Structures are given as C-alpha cells and as structure tokens.
Amino acid sequence: MNRIVWFHLFIAALSIKAANPDYDDSVEKVFNFSGSPGQFSVRVDEAIQRTFHTKRATRQRVFQTVETTLEHISGYQAELNGTTLKTEIGAIESEDVFYTDARFFSVALPPTLKVGDRLSVSFHRTYKDFYYLPMEVVPNVDRLSEYSLEYHFPEDLEIDFEIQYADKALPVSIERTPGKVVLSLVDLDYRKPKAYFPFNNAHAWIIPRFSEKESKHGASATEDFAKWYRSRLNGELDVGSTAVQALLNEANAKDGTLEKLAVLYGYVQEEIRYIASFKGSQSIIPRSPKDILSTQFGDCKDRVILIQRLAKELGIDVDFTLISSECEPEFDSVNIGLFDHAICSYQGPENRIFFDPTHPTLPFETLSYALNDKKAFVISDEPGWVTTPALPLKPNELELRIMLDVSQPQQAKSTITLNGNLAAYVLQSGELDESVAAENQLSNLVTQFLRKVSCDYFEKKEETRSSLQYEAIADFSESLVTSTSKCYLPLTLFNFGDKDLVARSEDEQVIDLLPMSISLSLDFKHEGYEFLGPSKEIPILEPFGSIAYEPDGENATSLHFRIHTPTVMRNGLERQKFIKMVSQYMSHRNSYFIFRRRT
C-alpha cells in the first residue's frame, strides 16, 4: 500500500543550519466541504509563501509539489515578487513492479534569485471523499512563520482535532464560528535532529476528526472508518474454478486452523507476483480476489484480501489489518495516512496471529523487523487498534558457535545459523551456493554485528523454510591480542551502541532502532595459558543481554554472549533500563577476558 502522507518537496538542505534561518515558510489551507452526510467531498485551496533570507537559500532552483493518487490538483500557479513563473507537470516514474498515476508540479526558480525575494505558490486539491484526506504533517523546516488550516463546512458536520507532537507540545490556536474552524500554529523554528529519533522531519501531526451531528461518528472514528473501508472491498471469487478448488482441498486436508492458513499463505507468497498498481483509489483499496487470481499478481492489500476470501471458504475469519512499516505517532483516531502496508491477522483462542503474505521468504507467523511491536488497525466486526508481537527472544536471529584456538586465531571453525528475518533476507537474495557475492553478503552480516571479527569460506549445511545454517572460517586476529605473557579477548564482542544513543538519556522521546537478536557461543582453547577472568566486572545487560563464562578444564573456557534489543522504545522504564545498559556496555569497550601464559 502506497503511503498517503505526502509532503511538499521543500528542496533545501535540512542537515546544516545557520544561526539564522535560510528561509521562512507560510502555509495556508482552506478546506471547503460539499455534499450530503456520508457523501462529503472536499476542496482544499492551498497557498505557500517562501521568503529567502540567505545566499545559500537563493541557490534553490526548483520547488515541487506532489499530487497523490487520491486527490486532483488544479490551478497550480507561482509568482516571484508578483511576477508569474513558469510551472510544469510531470508524471511520477513507474517501475517494473510499481505503477501510479500520481503527478508532480514544478516551479523553476531563476538563477537571479536574491536575498529578500518571496516565492508564492497556490493551487487546489480535490478529494472525492473526506476519508481520503490525509493527516496534516507540520514540517520541521528552517522556519515556519505560520501553518493555518481553515475549515468551512455545512451544519450537518462537526470538526475536532487530535494532535500529536514530535517533541514538546506547541501553542495551537483554534477559533470557532458557526460553519467555520481555524487552527493555526505560528513562529516554529527549526528543531535540531536527534539520533535514533524517527520524527526529526516534523513538528506535529494533526488528524481532523469529522463527525455528523446525528451520529457523532465520522472518518476518524474506528467503527466508521472500518465500516467505510469494508464497504469498498470487493470479495468476488470464482470458487468453482479448478485451481481454487484444488487449493481449498489442499488446505482443508490439514488438521488445524493455522495449518490451513499456512497453506493459503504459502500459495499466495509463492504464486502471486508482486506488482503494485497505485492508480486512483487502488492505492488504498485492493482489487477483487477474482481479478488477482486471473492476473496472478498483486500488492500487499491484494494478497490480504485474497487470503481473507479463500479463508472464508474454509470457515475461517481472517482480518484485514492495516499497519505502517515506519515508526508513526500514536493516535486514538484513524486516518489513511497512518498506514503504508497491509497484513493478515487471525484471532485465535488465546492471542491474535499476524502474518504477512507480501514478504517473499518469511515463514508463516513471522513478521519483518519493520512490523514487530507496531500498532496496527484491525478491520473486523469489532475493529480497533492492536499491537503486533515484539521480536521473539528465541530463536535468535543470528546464532554463532565458534571453536577458537589461541595458536590459530585466523582459523576458527564456525557454525552460523540464520533464523527468521535474517534467513529471509539471505534467501530473498537468491541462491547462495558457490556465489562469491553471497559470501560477501554473509561476511558483511557477521562483521556488522561483531567487533573486529570476520568470516569467510561459507558452506551451506542446512536449509529449512525458516532457517539457514552454514559452516565458515572466522578470523579473530584483530580482536585477540597476545603478548609474551598474556592473551586478551574483548569482553564486548558485539558491535553495539554508540554515544549518540547514550545521549538520548537527556530526553524522553521515542527511540527507533534496528533490532539485534544474536547469541555467540565461543569455545576457546588456550593451551599454555591460564584463565584469569575478566579485567573488569562484567556489565549487567539483563533483560537485553548477557555475558557469561565457565572453565572447561585447564586449557579451555566456554564464553557465552547474547544481545536482544527492541525496535521501538517510547518513554518509560524499559527505555531507561535500555540506555543504562548501553552505557554500561560501552564503558567496557576496553575490557577483556585475560589469560596468563603458564611458566
């Protein structure tokens, strides 16, 4: 599903800011509603003004606005200091698996642009249905002198707002008169970006909550949004076709509900090619199952409705579930702009099961990193927000067992097992046997997660639908330090944590990470050396990880390392514990397990 949240493409560098802003923007949107209750359409008159304050700002040569597939832009015009500028309309380039009728509108700025010049751009956006209206994203640009939303609506309609802020609450003015509401924010300066923070590009998000006076429900209410979305679904399926009957018979032969769903999942995953058509409402509404089976292609939402409809023939209720692969602000209201993906979910006797038939290699009941521990909206008879499971503790995504000999640090025999997302990542890249490129890929995975350790000469030993196992040679020559009297092995072998992450202890905002789920068992043979223990007390990493050791006779020691980090952490005790753990771990970067040479 294509993301419905679109920014004006403010073409300016956001990473380097002077003491004074390069430019100053003012945005005004006037919303006019027409039609009858339940069938409102919306026209938005939008005006943007940009004043250039520095020579760097005057290097801008183009200003662009994107038209989404759910809207129509007309009357696009631009002026510089009152003089009309030429505008152009272009098509968003389609790719092999992505087709869209969205357009972009461009304004070419002259090379004579100078400090103090003012650019004015105005146009109209039209939406056939107020459910198509995306949430408002107040951008974090050099300076935003005003962001104004003015709503004109008939007496049958009421408007309220739910607002979420990227950092701290901002002063918002809301003025109400009969048939009119004006919301505005003023004098917003650029907010410096923070590491591991997913919301650096916005000040706030605003969902306008429309309700009809008679029902007190509307486009942002969970029940009404779900009812509206379900009314757009076309579940037509040719159940009498030979192919459908064969698939249903295969699934029905399985004993349990999940086993039946796994058959449908495997079929859609393997037989339906990924091609996305984002034209008009097809950007958010799936095609019919009959059409999907006929063409043998579809995107995420197409695959979900196909499984949903096939499961219905088996007497199983699979729920259409909307989710975002990006970290989103958490709303109680619903808006189409909060989602960029669709998955399946099934309410079992004890818990809800999630599965994503769009992913080409992930096994049934496994979600990708981007979908773990995320809010999702279930469209069912009892619609509402749910949370997907966090990345499971077991099995670890990456499991390493290494036989290391102090006399041959470059020849450590290794067994490497990839599970879940990492296995899917490798499988998705194609056949790995006898592939030099594949060896580089696997080697990069290891070096990404381990400090000063590399692997080479991979040989595949086992492959299942959810795991891959290889044997390889690990090189510890850069991490294992030896002298005439001692040998040192780093206490912190995982490549994990940095000062920017620790610095986030100074705020209470969201932390967004690429999760790590790794276990390393190191059988270290150190003949001629006596194990003295760690040079510093081992940091307490629980519940996110652990470091442990145990002697295995006089000449060997077993060392065990584990790390398991979440994807998204919002303010709370877990966040505090996590940052404290990262700080402890980093403080041990120069700590070692020490082995003394026997005399």
Stretch among 10-19, 260-269, 339-348, 542-551 having the lowest mean pLDDT: 10-19
Q: Is the pLDDT of residue 196 over 60?
A: yes
Residues 372, 406: one domain? no
What per-residue confidence (pLDDT) applies to 567?
84
Q: β-strand 398-405 against 517-525: which pairing, if any?
A: parallel
Q: Please state, rounded to an integer, the average pLDDT across all residues of the chain.
A: 89
Residue 229 lies in a domain: no
What per-residue confidence (pLDDT) applies to 442?
85
Residue 149: band (very low, low, confident or very high) from pLDDT cuts 50, 70, 90? very high
3-state secondary structure of 242: helix
User: Any idea which residue has 């461009």 for tokens?
Assistant: 106
CATH for 371: 3.10.620.30
CA pair distance 465, 269, nearest whole angstrom? 12
Residue 519 lies in a domain: yes
Q: How does pLDDT run across 71-93, given as a tens digit for each residue?
A: 999 999 999 999 999 999 998 77
Q: Is the pLDDT of residue 2 over 50?
A: no
Residue 40 lies in a domain: yes
Q: Is the pLDDT of residue 498 over 50?
A: yes
CA distances to 72, 102, 452 from 278, in Å: 14, 8, 45
Residues 95, 169: one domain? yes
Stretch among 201-210, 270-279, 581-590 having the lowest mean pLDDT: 270-279
The residue out of 387, 418, 442 marking a domain boundary is: 387
Q: Is the pLDDT of residue 468 over 80?
A: yes
Closest to 513 (Cα-Cα) out of 113, 195, 189, 47: 195
- The strand pairing partners of 548, in sequence order, are 560
Q: β-strand 276-278 against 62-67: which pairing, if any?
A: unpaired
Owning domain of residue 472: 398-597
Segment 209-232 shows an average pLDDT of 77
Residues 251, 213: one domain? no
Residue 235 lies in a domain: no
CA distances to 57, 265, 270, 594 from 354, in Å: 47, 11, 18, 46
Residues 323, 405: one domain? no
User: Any idea which residue has 């309609």 for tokens?
Assistant: 157
φ/ψ of 181, rounded to 5, equals -135, 135
Residues 290, 192: one domain? no
Residues 90, 141: one domain? yes
What per-residue confidence (pLDDT) applies to 46?
98
Q: Is the pLDDT of residue 18 over 60?
A: no
Segment 448-456 shows an average pLDDT of 92
Residue 162 lies in a domain: yes
Percent of the chain with pLDDT over 70: 92
Residues 249, 373: one domain? yes
Residue 423 lies in a domain: yes
What per-residue confidence (pLDDT) applies to 540?
84
3-state secondary structure of 294: helix
What per-residue confidence (pLDDT) applies to 283?
85
pLDDT: which is higher, 513 or 214 = 513
Which residues have CB under 8 Å from 135's CB, separation 6+?
Answer: 5, 205, 206, 207, 208, 335, 337, 338
Residue 97 lies in a domain: yes
Query: From the CB of residue 381, how many other CB atoms can be counted at a distance below 10 Å?
Result: 9
Q: Is the pLDDT of residue 220 over 70?
A: no
Q: What pTM does this model have?
A: 0.90
What per-residue confidence (pLDDT) applies to 154?
84
**What's the structural domain count of the chain?**
3
Residue 584: enclosing H or E segment and its boundaries? Answer: helix 573-587
The residue out of 323, 356, 387 marking a domain boundary is: 387
Which residues have CB under 8 Å from 277's CB, separation 6+?
Answer: 99, 100, 287, 299
CATH for 81: 2.60.40.3140
- The strand pairing partners of 120, in sequence order, are 49, 79
CA pair distance 372, 568, nearest whole angstrom? 9
Residues 486, 349: one domain? no
Residue 392 lies in a domain: no
Q: How does pLDDT run across 103-148, given as a tens digit for each residue?
A: 999 999 999 999 999 999 999 999 998 889 999 999 999 999 999 9
Q: How does pLDDT run across 236-285, given as a tens digit for each residue?
A: 998 889 999 999 999 999 999 999 999 999 999 999 999 887 777 878 99
Strands (DSSP E) along 420-573, which ranges? 454-463, 467-475, 481-482, 486-490, 511-512, 517-525, 529-534, 545-551, 556-564, 568-569
